[in-house]
Structure 1
């Protein structure tokens, strides 16, 4: 018999989503902020200060937002598990039949569905119902701290890219080079994320680059308008 192993990538969706969101937001928001401030004819020291402040504020905002959001998801999951645990303690037979009905709906014969439900519940009743009735698995389980740390760290890394570019490039080329390098960074990020998740690379890179360019263009326009009026 030929061995065949499939390498699925859905287990990466939790940390990958937070990491990509953090890095993408770090690049887009910091580059846009730098370009907007620079377009208002601000001195380079002021531009760098604004970019650094945006990095710190953005990283903390991402961490707090992810923690609160994923904690809410974790609280909901825990409440559902408590309800299920109570139901198993007081209505075991009904819960068994409910689980069997789920398997029957997926294509098993009634007798086999009942047998599968009985065996799974004998091994881990709460785990079987959490997985097949509620949809909670170890892979998709909410992890607030992991999401918060991942988002803050990747936001910081993403924000450092346009910030370092603004620090190294002379004032006359600052806006152009920050925009150019940031779009390149975004395209690379989109491609890496797509590859890691098994999605089309070109489509993902184009999508993230388009929205990044739009954000930078809009903030550049704001900087030009207010810079001129000042």
Structure 2
């Protein structure tokens, strides 16, 4: 089983490097969005695309085990999207991203969002060739998520804390969540946002634009 896992990860890494080369050649920024189910990942993405789509070219790869629900939501915003259903799989892999890119045919200098399957375990192991990994947690989850799922937070560059509009009504301590995340990744950054009322989203947009400028 260990040898099989090593072979799978090795093959995935080779294809991830190919994706990385593709993104670099096309001067693209690729963001891998990861979270547990229900964190508001698609809602954050929807609002981001709706409010930023006039600033740059966006493309989206949607990962889910079943249904086209999330892809339909992105399509309604008017952004090119490809749905990848993984069936019994709990994560996207680099070959799935590669196949989706062949369908999307993104323009040079564009920004690609890869919305991974809702899971804080398996996606942490699979590099997709992305430039940045952004993990989203919400105030309706436990603030101990970072130490319960350390690999995901160790591999992420940014943590979005979503649903901050609900802080008065839930038992979630933002500083505690940040402290736990820094224990496994001292370099991780944080932004507090609400996809519902837009609070903090401008800082998220500024972060994206800064990364795109750095990447150009």
Is TM more than 0.5 here? no
Q: Which one has more relative contact order, counting CA pairs under 8 Å at least 6 apart?
A: 1
Larger strand proportion of the pair: 2
* TM-score, normalised relative to structure 1: 0.23
Higher share in helix: 1
**Greater gyration radius:** 1
